[in-house]
Amino acid sequence: MKIRNAILFLFVAVLTFSSCKESEDNPVITMSPTTEKILAEGLNIGAYGKDTTVLFPKADGYKIDISYATGSGKWCRASEIPESDNYQAESSNNQTAVRIVCAKSDDSLLIAREAKITLSSSYNKYVINVKQRPHQLAYFKDKVIYIPNTGGDFKMSVLANTKFEVYANSGKWLTKNSDPIKCTEAKAVEVPFYVSLNTGLGRSDFYRILGNYYDYINPAPGYVYDDKGPTIMIIQEPRTLHEAETVDVDKPEFHVGGLETMLGHDKENLSRLKKLTVINMIKHSDVDYAAIIAALNLDTLDMSLCNYYAFEDKRSIGQRMFFGCHLSCIALPKGTERIYNEAFANCANLKTVSLPSSVKSIGILAFASSPKIEEILIPSDSKLQYIYDEAFNTGGTMTSLFIPATTELSKDAFKGLRVKELHIRLSTPPTLNPDNEVDRGASVLYVPVGSKEKYVSATYFKDFGRIVEE
């Protein structure tokens, strides 16, 4: 009996081991209905992307590959969720959770995009086809269209896959609204518009798109304003310019572009300008554009009645901004804080430069090699703080120069300076290097009352022909 029982126990043990081994080699496959549906129909998602988790039969780790049929970039990713994340508390022990994340569709992509996710293990292989619907959009192909002053009939290109309409902002010199246009598939639509004759300075206005999902005032959720936006700027060139023009850059009808819009881009037309007066609030870009005009035939540029907008960070005359300009006279706008290196260098015709009291520094060689400069007008209430090396080395002889009491000078600030009268308000002579290349014997130095004796013995200043207190 004992022998028979032992044999029976041994048989059962072998059978049990064999069953376990078979189970390990061929695990039981369980599949949720949701997963089966995804494998059969694919993962269909909307334009704003999706973050989802799919359960698969447990395996000894899945190898995941993603290939893309359409669309640019790797817009889809998939990864197995580790058991340590406790996600599988929601599933049975014989399932593995895979997270699939699809990004928001590119706003410029008006067609569906597709990807294929392949999951492989030593036991099985699964394929998920991912298809993402596009945004329903309509946007202008270009950001701006330039129109001659003569006006006429033109077309603007709209890329769309949905119904849309095009509206003129004001309709004063642009034709108003287009008829509704419906697109059932992604395509480029040429929308006609008309611009009237321009008898004034350059002007700008815009068209906007209204559609099912693209609204300038109330955009769709998740919409980000960029260069594929619902507006297009129309900029029309000015009439034939006069020799003297006064331009108010703060008029409300000039939505963008400022001085650039009002004076246009036609060099032949811009070359007619001899005197330009700019008034009202300006941006740094306006000053930058004035410098472009100054390189043509412009003789006088007066910006003394201008001030910078409060939001402007760049309140300066940039490095070489007016380098080699044609100007003979320039007055800078109020609020200008810095004049950078060589800003007015190599200007063969420049005679007079008027600085506002707001200027804090004058850079290296700022007025170098401009031999006709007679005056650099610095006001008595100037806030000038620092003058850098050879700022006034014009190569010619100036009539006069005023240096306020607030100013610190580099040791070579006056190197190359030739001036008939130098008015300096510093009670203590600044420490300067000698400049033996310039003869100051015929020049007059004006200093504060009570400081003459200090200047008489000071390096650089002692070489002036006369020193006078004032």
pLDDT in tens, 19-31: 444 444 445 556 7
Please give the Cα distance from 393 to 222 (Å, whole number): 57
CATH topology of domain 315-469: 3.80.10
Is the model's pLDDT at 255 over the cut of 60?
A: no
Strand-pair partners of 419:
398
* Domain(s) of CATH 2.60.40.2030: residues in the chain: 138-235
The tokens of 20 are what?
A: 């376990």
Locate 420 and state its tokens. 């008939």
Alpha-carbon distance of 136 to 185, in angstroms, equals 10
Write down the pLDDT at residue 388. 98
pLDDT tens-digit profile of 348-394?
999 999 999 999 999 999 999 999 999 999 999 999 999 999 999 99
Query: How crowded is the C-beta side of 6, counted as CA atoms within 13 Å?
Result: 3
Provide the pLDDT for residue 185. 83
Higher pLDDT, 182 or 338: 338
For residue 321, which of 297, 339, 302, 298 has the smallest C-alpha distance?
Answer: 339
Q: What is the pLDDT of residue 94?
A: 77
pLDDT at residue 287, rounded to an integer: 96
Can you give the pLDDT at residue 86?
Answer: 53
CA 330 from centroid of its chain's CA atoms: 29
* Architecture of the domain made up of 138-235: Sandwich (2.60)
Rounded mean pLDDT, 131-151? 90
Section 440-458 average pLDDT: 97
Residues 167, 174: Cα–Cα separation, whole Å: 10
- How high is the pLDDT of residue 183? 84
3-class secondary structure per residue, the chain: CHHHHHHHHHHHHHHHHHHHHHHHHCCCCCCCHHHHHHHHHCEEECCCCEEEEEEEECCCCCEEEEEECCCCCCCEEEEECCHHHCHHHHCCCCEEEEEEEECCCCCCCCCCEEEEEEEECCCCEEEEEEEECCCCCEEECCCEEEECCCCEEEEEEEEECCCEEEEECCCCCECCCCCCECCCCCEEEEEEEEECCCCCCCEEEEEEEEECCCECCCCCCCCCCCCCCCEEEEEECCCCCCCEEEEECCCCCECCCCHHHHHCCCHHHHCCCCEEEEEEEECHHHHHHHHHHHCCCCCEEEEEEEEECCCCCCCEECCCCCCCCCCCEEECCECCCEECCCCCCCCCCCCEEECCCCCCEECCCCCCCCCCCCEEECCCCCCCCEECCCCCCCCCCEEEEEECCCCEECCCCCCCCCEEEEEECCCCCCCCCCCCCCCCCCCEEEECCCCHHHHHCCCCHHHCCEEEEC
List the beta bridge partners of residue 55: 97
Question: What percent of the chain is predicted at pLDDT more than 90?
Answer: 65
pLDDT digits over 267-298, tens only?
A: 999 999 999 999 999 999 999 999 999 999 99
d(C-alpha 321, C-alpha 399), whole Å: 25
**CB-CB neighbours of 289 under 10 Å:** 22
Where, residue-wise, is CATH 3.80.10.10 in the chain? Answer: 315-469
Confidence at residue 108, expressed as pLDDT on a 0 to 100 scale: 67
pLDDT, tens digit (0-9, with 9 covering 90-100), for 58-113: 887 899 999 998 767 889 999 998 865 655 444 456 788 899 999 988 766 688 89
Q: How far apart are the first and last CA of the chain?
A: 137
Where does the pLDDT of residue 299 fall: very low under 50, low under 70, confident under 90, or very high at 90 and above?
Answer: very high
pLDDT at 206 > cutoff 50: yes
What are the residue ranges of CATH 2.60.40.10 in the chain?
33-132
Residue 194, token pair as written in the block: 């008309």
Q: Indicate if the pLDDT at residue 11 is higher than 80.
A: no
Specify the CATH superfamily of domain 33-132. Immunoglobulins (2.60.40.10)
How would you classify residue 249: left for phi > 0, otherwise alpha for psi between -120 and 50, otherwise beta? alpha
Average pLDDT, the chain: 87
User: Model confidence at 423, in pLDDT bands (50, 70, 90)?
Assistant: very high
